[in-house]
Amino acid sequence: MEKSASQQTTMRFVIIAGIVLALIIPLSMIRSVTDERQGYFEETFHSIAQAWGTEQAVSGPFLIIPETHAHQVKNDDGTLEWRHVKRQRVLLPAELDIAAEIEHQYRYRAIYKVPVYIAKLKFRGNFSALNPELMTRKNVEVHLDDAQLVMGISHTQAIVSVSPFKQNTAGNEFNSGTQQNWLGSGIHSPVAQLSATEASSFSFELALKGTGELGLTPIGNINHIGMQSTWPHPSFSGIYLPTHYEISNTGFSANWDVHKLARNLPDSWQVDKLDINLSENLARVSLFQPVTNYKIIDRAIKYGLLFIALTFLAFVCFELNNKLQFHIVQYGAIGANLVLFFLILLSLSEHISFSVSYICATILTTTLNSSYVWAMTKSKVLCLWITSIVTGLYATLFVLLKMETFALLVGTAVLLIGLVALMFTTRGLAKPRALLSTEAHEPL
């Protein structure tokens, strides 16, 4: 008889484990729905970014000075002829100060909202007097009157406004395009009153729209970038990180101080003689989008099988200690309710905050399970214990989702507690050694 009871207990564990594994199917379906909704959000994000302005990278200002290089070539008849080739020289600022103010906004489409920004940039600095060696090269004519100041802007369609370029006491309007293949899209302005022997100061303002990220290039010999924003979740990247920054719930401020020895650029170069990669010299800040609800829910579903198994373990423990026996169909109904928790959480989180959605889904699921247990057993004690255990598991899952750093530690602790509970509950299933010895020596 005891052997038969042991077999029945073993069979129940096998069947319950089969139900837990079978619930992988609906969990996978809900995860597919979550991935689909995440895909819709990303499509909306990219669609709004294309219309408003994508990630912006602002490079410059660069001073472009045309040059004419003369050299002799021998003709077919042996005579020498002078040939003139036009080239361009790029000069970097001696000092560059950029003051950036980033104001974030939201753009809505259907149930989705996407953070965007308007960056107001103020540029000040100066170009030092030209190196006399550049002006006195043999067979090279430098055209200071045709000099231009250029700015590279990755997404010029998102420019809001540009002030005139002020150089010393003169002012010039910017025009579209950089006319520089190595720099790409942007704007340019003629430079008046450029002197070879005196420093030339400059200042201008630029406002542009963007989404996600803003990159600036500290290209001067001495650089200072000051940035302020109303966005509370910045992420700093690029080759240069801030010298100092402060982050609060109302925004952030950051400062970069970069010396010319830290930049991977020469003071000056000839356009056709050097291949420049400006993307390697950016100081970037991202309006970091905290983990979306879809990603949090996807993580929750990954814990779903463990969560269901621990809940079933609690029911099994009550069965063994209270001589109860729930029907397999009842286990299936409870499991379906536990799976439904994740779908409720997904549906609510698209309209209200994740924390409130989680509380509502927990209350709905726990109330339904508790009511079901009460209807099955009419036991207040059992109903209260099940409610407490399931609520504790939901609370643990919430901690796992919110505390990524300690997720492994908390998850391991929960598994250990579940194992201890199972070992304590099943401690009486084995036969005592004395009884086995008696049975072994009993005469036939």
Across the chain, what does the average pLDDT equal?
Answer: 82
* Burial bucket for residue 408 (CB in 10 Å: 0-12, 13-18, 19+): exposed
Taking residues 164-188, report their average pLDDT. 86
128 in a domain, yes or no?
Answer: yes
Rounded CA gap, 315 and 313, in Å?
A: 5
Both 156 and 244 in one domain: the answer is yes
The pLDDT value given to residue 415:
61
For the cut 80, the answer to whether the pLDDT of residue 76 exceeds it is no
pTM over 0.85: no
62 in a domain, yes or no?
Answer: yes
| Percentage with pLDDT > 70 across the chain | 87
Angle made by CA atoms 45, 51, 52, in degrees to the nearest 5: 85
365 with 341: CB under 8 angstroms?
A: yes
The pLDDT value given to residue 433:
46
Q: What is the DSSP annotation of 145-210?
A: GG-EEEEEES-GGGEEEE--EEETTEEE--EE----TTT-SEEEEE--S--SSS-EEEEEEEEEEE
316 in a domain, yes or no?
Answer: yes
Both 31 and 165 in one domain: the answer is no
For the cut 80, the answer to whether the pLDDT of residue 318 exceeds it is no
| Per-residue pLDDT tens digits for 324-349 | 777 888 888 888 888 999 999 988 88
For the cut 70, the answer to whether the pLDDT of residue 219 exceeds it is yes
Taking residues 257-276, report their average pLDDT. 84
46 in a domain, yes or no?
Answer: no
Both 32 and 92 in one domain: the answer is no
| Percentage with pLDDT > 90 across the chain | 23
Both 300 and 269 in one domain: the answer is no
Rounded CA gap, 396 and 28, in Å?
A: 22
Listed range (131-135, 233-237, 419-423, 429-433) with the worst mean pLDDT? 429-433
* Burial bucket for residue 71 (CB in 10 Å: 0-12, 13-18, 19+): exposed
**Of 287, 314, 332, which residue constitutes the final position of a domain?**
287
The pLDDT value given to residue 411:
59
Listed range (95-109, 202-216, 371-385) with the worst mean pLDDT? 371-385
pLDDT grade for 444, boundaries at 50, 70 and 90:
very low
444 in a domain, yes or no?
Answer: no
Both 167 and 33 in one domain: the answer is no
Taking residues 17-31, report their average pLDDT. 88
* Identity of the highest mean pLDDT range in 304-308, 403-407, 429-433: 304-308
For the cut 50, the answer to whether the pLDDT of residue 440 exceeds it is no
**Of 236, 264, 287, which residue constitutes the final position of a domain?**
287
Which residues are 59's β-sheet partners?
152
Taking residues 378-403, report their average pLDDT. 80
Which residues are 87's β-sheet partners?
67
For the cut 90, the answer to whether the pLDDT of residue 257 exceeds it is yes
| Per-residue pLDDT tens digits for 139-148 | 778 888 888 9
pLDDT grade for 426, boundaries at 50, 70 and 90:
low
Both 283 and 311 in one domain: the answer is no
Both 175 and 277 in one domain: the answer is yes
For the cut 70, the answer to whether the pLDDT of residue 428 exceeds it is no
CATH number at residue 261: 2.60.40
**Of 222, 254, 287, which residue constitutes the final position of a domain?**
287
Both 78 and 201 in one domain: the answer is yes
CA neighbours closer than 13 Å in the CB half-sphere of residue 20: 19
For residue 300, what are the domain limits? Answer: 2-41+293-432
The pLDDT value given to residue 261:
87
Both 116 and 235 in one domain: the answer is yes
pLDDT grade for 6, boundaries at 50, 70 and 90:
low
Both 70 and 172 in one domain: the answer is yes
401 in a domain, yes or no?
Answer: yes
Both 358 and 269 in one domain: the answer is no
Taking residues 390-411, report their average pLDDT. 72
Domains in the chain: how many in total?
A: 2
The pLDDT value given to residue 291:
59
For the cut 80, the answer to whether the pLDDT of residue 290 exceeds it is no
Both 374 and 394 in one domain: the answer is yes
pLDDT grade for 266, boundaries at 50, 70 and 90:
confident
pLDDT grade for 1, boundaries at 50, 70 and 90:
very low
For the cut 90, the answer to whether the pLDDT of residue 58 exceeds it is yes
442 in a domain, yes or no?
Answer: no
47 in a domain, yes or no?
Answer: no
pLDDT grade for 274, boundaries at 50, 70 and 90:
confident
